């Protein structure tokens, strides 16, 4: 069987500065060489921070790998000023991007909520009992963040996000193979490759996020993994997944089998009041008027996600005026997002 776990990572060439500088010739000056020294040091710093190899850096520069390698090593025979200028432009662009992104407000780090604890508990059941579970939450309630947090805390947990483009059985299997680090080119062997990888871990949990996109046959294939290879499977998505599994005379046999196999389900469409309060507190908002406004926003469709996006926009508005975030900024941010009328 042609199965191989992808345990290798891209080789990164060591970033060592050249021991000797380029020679002083007719097509380069001492100023060119001095600029080369500064630029190579800065390129090395950027690349090491980003984890880029020399080949990757050359690609991002839009420069031939051989040209970049020769320039960086001080052995490039071409015009140094022209190549220096190209590298300098690239460095300016990187610095500009870094400055811009540093000014963008970031969401608070993961904070536990009542809903996230329920998600964790449901995932833990699937993981420990090697069972199939169903988790459906309303938009903006942190299902993906909670799943990622669980994955970060536990070994042998893999998470694949599917979409309209990967909703079929084969496309889903290819995505799962990528998540598991499996290289398998034979479509007929994908199921066994995945199953054996999950079974070999001894205690695996496979989380499928945005599962509402999957066709019935793909969902049934996930049930097969749980049944045959004794691994936990969590179907995570919006209420459409839950609706499919409800008793209905029009439902296919696939869903009857799934209903029987679901060991635990979590279906919650509206955020708990304490979750909304925790989200507001995570943004360090204490003003009573602001808390009231954000609470109303959090009770709309999108829940905690609405609070997060509104506070990011409000923070940007406040930065522009040099003021702390206040009621005026939050109100303006909500209206500027043009999501819905707010009364």
* DSSP structure string for 26-74: TT--HHHHHHHHHHHHHHHHHHHHHT--HHHHHHHHT--HHHHHHHHHT
Of 17-21, 39-43, 78-82, 334-338, the least confident: 334-338
At residue 18, the pLDDT reads: 87
Contacts 24+ apart (CB under 8 A), 288-294: 289/327, 290/325, 290/326, 290/327, 290/330, 293/327, 293/330, 293/331, 293/334, 294/330
Q: Is 258 helix (H, G, I), strand (E, B) or coil?
A: helix
Assess whether pLDDT exceeds 50 at residue 14: yes
Q: Is 132 helix (H, G, I), strand (E, B) or coil?
A: strand
At residue 263, the pLDDT reads: 81
pLDDT band at 95 (very low <50, low <70, confident <90, very high): confident
Based on DSSP, count helices (H) and strands (E) in the chain, helices before strands.
15, 7
Assess whether pLDDT exceeds 50 at residue 1: no
Q: Write the pLDDT tens digit of every residue in 185-202.
A: 888 899 999 999 999 988
Judge whether 218 and 176 are in contact, CB under 8 Å.
no
Does this model's pTM top 0.85? My answer is: no
Assess whether pLDDT exceeds 70 at residue 7: no
At residue 338, the pLDDT reads: 59
Judge whether 37 and 21 are in contact, CB under 8 Å.
yes
Instruction: Name the packing angle between helices 273-282 and 114-129 (round to 10°).
Output: 110
Pick the more confident residue, 8 or 266: 266
**182: which strand partners?**
5
Residues 6 or more apart whose Cβ sits within 8 Å of residue 287: 326, 327
Of 43-52, 79-88, 96-105, 305-314, the least confident: 96-105
Q: How far is CA 224 from the centre of its chain?
A: 27
18-103: CATH architecture: Orthogonal Bundle (1.10)
Q: Would you state the torsion angle of the CA atoms of residues 146, 149, 155, 157, taken in this order, to the nearest 10 degrees?
A: 40
Half-sphere exposure of 284 (CA within 13 A, CB side): 7
Q: How far is CA 95 from the centre of its chain?
A: 24
114-268: CATH architecture: 3-Layer(aba) Sandwich (3.40)
At residue 340, the pLDDT reads: 57
At residue 19, the pLDDT reads: 84
96, exposed or middle or buried, with CB in 10 Å at 0-12, 13-18, 19+? exposed
- What are the structural domain ranges in the chain? 18-103, 114-268, 273-337
Average pLDDT, whole number, for the chain? 87
Residue 36: CB atoms within 10 A of its CB come to 23
Judge whether 303 and 278 are in contact, CB under 8 Å.
no
Assess whether pLDDT exceeds 80 at residue 337: no
What is the rounded distance in angstroms from the CA atom of residue 172 to the CA atom of residue 228?
18
At residue 188, the pLDDT reads: 86
Average pLDDT over residues 26-41: 91
């Amino acid at each position: 069987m042609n199965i191989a776990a992808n345990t290798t990572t891209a080789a990164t060439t060591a970033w060592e500065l050249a021991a000797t500088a380029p020679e002083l010739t007719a097509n380069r000056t001492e100023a060119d060489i001095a600029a080369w020294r500064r630029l190579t040091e800065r390129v090395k710093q950027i690349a090491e921070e980003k984890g880029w190899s020399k080949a990757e850096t050359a690609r991002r520069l839009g420069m031939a790998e051989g040209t970049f390698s020769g320039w960086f090593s001080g052995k490039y025979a071409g015009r140094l000023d022209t190549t220096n200028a190209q590298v300098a432009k690239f460095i300016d662009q990187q610095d500009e991007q870094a400055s811009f992104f540093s000014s963008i407000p970031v969401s608070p780090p993961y904070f536990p909520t009542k809903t996230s604890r329920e998600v964790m508990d449901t995932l833990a059941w699937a993981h420990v009992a090697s069972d199939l579970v169903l988790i459906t939450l309303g938009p903006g309630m942190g299902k993906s963040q909670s799943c990622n947090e669980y994955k970060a805390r536990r070994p042998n947990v893999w998470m694949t996000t599917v979409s309209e483009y990967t909703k079929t059985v084969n496309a889903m299997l290819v995505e799962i193979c990528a998540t598991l680090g499996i290289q398998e080119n034979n479509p007929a062997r994908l199921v066994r490759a995945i199953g054996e990888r999950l079974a070999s871990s001894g205690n695996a949990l496979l989380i499928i996020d945005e599962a509402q996109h999957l066709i019935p046959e793909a969902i049934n294939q996930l049930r097969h993994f749980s049944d045959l290879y004794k691994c936990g499977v969590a179907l995570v998505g919006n209420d459409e997944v839950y609706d499919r599994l409800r008793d209905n005379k029009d439902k296919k046999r696939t869903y009857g089998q799934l209903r029987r196999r679901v060991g635990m389900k979590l279906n919650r469409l509206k955020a708990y009041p304490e979750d909304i309060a925790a989200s507001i507190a995570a943004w360090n908002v204490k003003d009573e008027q602001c808390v009231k406004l954000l609470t109303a926003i959090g009770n709309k469709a999108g829940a905690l996600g609405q609070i997060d996006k509104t506070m990011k926009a409000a923070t940007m508005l406040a930065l522009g005026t040099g003021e702390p975030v206040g009621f005026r900024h939050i109100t303006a941010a909500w209206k500027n997002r043009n999501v819905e009328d707010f009364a």
